[in-house]
Structure 1
Amino acid sequence: MFGQRHIDPAPGTHYRSERVSAVNGQYFFATREGTLEGPFFTRVDAEREITSYIRRMQQASRLVENRAF
């Protein structure tokens, strides 16, 4: 994902890091929001859940933006 969210600060130097990590045989992924999601049984499961997580976050963002106050 190369886009910038409207809540992100101004463009700067960004370093890519591995989002999936293994701890005691279980897999987790780190989010931009600073959370660690998991555990998952396999790396493939964790990577698949990254896609689901992004989709949920985008959907939540659209709901908040479209909500009438």
Structure 2
Amino acid sequence: MKVRAGEADRSWFRSERFIHTSDGWYFMTRENTQEGPYRSITEAENELAMYIRLTNQVDQFSNA
């Protein structure tokens, strides 16, 4: 798996990022934050994709 700039290469394990509770759907980040609730798994997936894009843009900007 590709690591972020400045991080050591190491073994990674996959875990489920999405959690469903009575409040709705959440996703977990690498930074161990829980984001949500969202009304559907689709909404949570879309928000996760946006979160990843924004995080990558911030990383690219700070490394420029």
Same fold by TM (over 0.5)? Answer: yes
> Can you give the 5+ residue segments of structure 2 that lack an aligned partner in the other structure?
none
Moved over 6 A (4+): none
- The residue identity in structure 2 corresponding to 1:30 is M
1:23-57 superposed Cα distances (whole Å, 9 cap, x missing partner): 11400000011111111000000011111000000
Compare CA radii of gyration and give the structure with the larger one: 1
- Note the aligned Cα RMSD (angstroms): 1.4
* Displacement of 1:6: 2.2
Q: TM-score, normalised by structure 1?
A: 0.80
Q: TM-score, normalised by structure 2?
A: 0.86
**% identical equivalent positions:** 31
> What aligned pairs does 1:1-69 form with structure 2 within 5 A after superposition?
2-12=1-11, 14-66=12-64
How many residues end up aligned between the 2 structures? 64
